[in-house]
Amino acid sequence: MPRKSKAELESMSAEAAWYTTPEGRRQTQREFERALKRGTLLRSPGSPIPQTDAKVLAELVEKAKAKATKAISIRLPVADLERAQRIAAKEGIGYQTVLKRAIQAGLKKVS
């Protein structure tokens, strides 16, 4: 394998640095999703991965969404927040966990 020139190594370094930026990660994600949909995604040894069944893919997406979290801001009455903090102190957990559990329980009850 021929040695790479200094310019090639610097450009490879710059490219690698770009892929670590948020835009680089988004671009990589878009390329991965397109290849997955087209069925052209390759494993590292070079063998193509067959196109995934739409139902299986939808199920995988739902599982991923169930585990994914998103930071939000929400306004609560001070009394509710203090109540959650008291419950959290009794249970030895964070008040955010108490609120998360209460929201999940409420959503299960409604649906």
Q: What is the pLDDT of residues 40-88, one digit of tens each?
A: 877 666 566 677 777 888 888 888 888 888 889 999 999 999 999 999 9
* pTM across the whole model: 0.47
Which of 54, 48, 51, 30 lies closest to 39, judged by CA? 51
- d(CA 86, CA 100) in angstroms, rounded, equals 15
Query: Using CA of residue 26, residue 31, residue 35, residue 38, what is the dihedral sign?
Result: positive
